[in-house]
């Protein structure tokens, strides 16, 4: 933090966020982080069902999640976010409703929720392949997504991005910069950066290699690319449309010289008829059903 403040003019109201694992922090540590100016905390609760946490191979319990949240409040954090995962193997609509009730009872300022993705090479993938755990039910996961949005609205949360909810005024500034194409600097192992024009660059992901590169070359940079005009247009659509506020087609035309409604007329017509997108004047945005099937919509623009 001292290095950042020495080299940058940090806004007094800057959002300074840190991530942590549940059950790994003490009150003293959190108080010290808060004194440094860190004012937003995020952690992966995933589920409030200990059996589901065990199936995921997580090291924390639901009590760890509650305790971590309580410690954050005690340390003075007034902007807290945590993650939930829907569609876990063996998860039922009833247990998902329990998760939502627990989450909204804590009333964090921000909630991220994801549908489970099973990646090859993970213990969960091996368990599903060998029959130790059931395959995720995609239809049930879709129903969980809809229930999440209904319960969130009832609790006063805004659905501002495909996978993110917040109380009014607590949108994640950290993530919003990606979706709106704002510039950002990344420092450290695996960090990425963007100049808001056409350049993206990234640091080495492997920690030992990162250290060796810094020691020998003074730079851990391993990727540096310039986006083509097509890349920039595609990113502006599929990142911008992640926000439920949508994309202004008139602004898009001014920036890139392309009329979206003309260039993708057939796709847009099909998506609109399927109830996945809607227009409000020149505003193009996903519907609730479209948010669930967003990858199918975005594929048309890439």
The answer on 266 and 190 residing in a single domain is no
The answer on 146 and 216 residing in a single domain is no
With 0-12 / 13-18 / 19 or more C-beta atoms within 10 angstroms meaning exposed / middle / buried, residue 48 is buried
> Which residues are CB-contacts of 174 (< 8 A; sequence separation ≥ 6)?
15, 17, 40
pLDDT of residue 211: 97
The answer on 293 and 271 residing in a single domain is yes
The answer on 70 and 169 residing in a single domain is yes
Range of the domain at 104: 2-177
pLDDT of residue 134: 59
Q: Are 83 and 46 in contact (CB under 8 A)?
A: yes
Flag the least confident range among 72-81, 214-223, 232-241. 232-241
Residue ending a domain, choose from 207, 226, 245: 226
Residue 132: pLDDT above 70?
Answer: no
- What's the average model confidence in pLDDT over 35-58? 91
Residue bearing the bigger pLDDT, 120 or 5: 5
The answer on 261 and 131 residing in a single domain is no
**pTM score:** 0.89
The answer on 243 and 213 residing in a single domain is no
pLDDT of residue 171: 97
Name the band, by pLDDT with cuts 50, 70 and 90, for residue 70. very high
Domain count, the chain: 3
CA 116, 294, 252 angle in degrees (round to 5)? 140
pLDDT of residue 125: 61
The answer on 144 and 80 residing in a single domain is yes
Q: Which residues of 266-293 are buried (b: 16+ CB within 10 A; e: fewer)?
A: eebeebeeeebbeeeeeebbbbeebbbb
The answer on 215 and 99 residing in a single domain is no
Domain CATH code at residue 287: 1.10.10.920
User: How many of the other CB atoms lie within 10 Å of CB of 237?
Assistant: 23
The answer on 155 and 28 residing in a single domain is yes
Domain CATH code at residue 65: 3.30.750.200
The answer on 278 and 140 residing in a single domain is no
Q: What is the pLDDT of residues 75-131, one digit of tens each?
A: 999 999 999 998 887 888 999 999 999 999 999 999 999 886 666 666 666 666 676
Structure tokens belonging to residue 55 = 């199936």
The answer on 208 and 64 residing in a single domain is no
The answer on 207 and 238 residing in a single domain is no
Residue 136: pLDDT above 80?
Answer: no
Residue ending a domain, choose from 159, 177, 195: 177
pLDDT of residue 202: 98
Q: What is the pLDDT of residues 243-294, one digit of tens each?
A: 999 999 999 999 999 999 999 999 999 999 999 999 999 999 999 889 988 9
């Amino acid at each position: 933090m001292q290095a950042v403040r020495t080299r940058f003019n940090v806004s007094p109201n800057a959002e300074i966020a840190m991530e942590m694992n549940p059950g790994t922090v003490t009150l003293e540590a959190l108080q010290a982080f808060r004194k440094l100016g860190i004012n937003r905390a995020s952690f992966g609760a995933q589920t409030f069902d200990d059996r589901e946490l065990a199936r995921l191979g997580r090291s924390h319990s639901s009590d760890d999640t509650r305790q971590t949240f309580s410690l954050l409040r005690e340390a003075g954090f007034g902007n807290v976010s945590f993650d939930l995962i829907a569609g876990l193997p063996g998860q039922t609509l009833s247990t998902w409703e329990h998760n939502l009730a627990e989450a909204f009872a804590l009333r964090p300022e921000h909630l991220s929720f994801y549908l489970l993705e099973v990646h090859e090479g993970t213990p969960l993938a091996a368990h599903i392949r060998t029959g130790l755990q059931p395959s995720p039910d995609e239809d049930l996961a879709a129903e969980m997504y809809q229930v999440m949005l209904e319960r969130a609205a009832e609790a006063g949360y805004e659905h501002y991005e495909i996978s993110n909810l917040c109380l009014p005024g607590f949108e994640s500034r950290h993530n919003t910069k990606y979706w709106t194409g704002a510039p950002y600097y990344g420092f450290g192992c695996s960090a990425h950066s963007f100049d808001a024009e056409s350049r993206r660059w990234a640091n080495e992901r492997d920690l030992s290699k990162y250290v060796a590169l810094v020691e020998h070359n003074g730079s851990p940079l391993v990727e540096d690319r310039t986006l083509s005009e097509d890349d920039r247009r595609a990113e502006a659509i599929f990142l911008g449309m992640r926000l439920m506020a949508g994309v202004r087609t008139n602004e898009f035309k001014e920036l890139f010289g392309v009329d979206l409604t003309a260039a993708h007329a057939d796709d847009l017509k099909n998506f609109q008829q399927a109830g996945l997108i809607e227009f409000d004047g020149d505003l193009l945005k996903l519907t609730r059903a479209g948010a669930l099937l967003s990858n199918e919509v975005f594929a048309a623009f890439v």
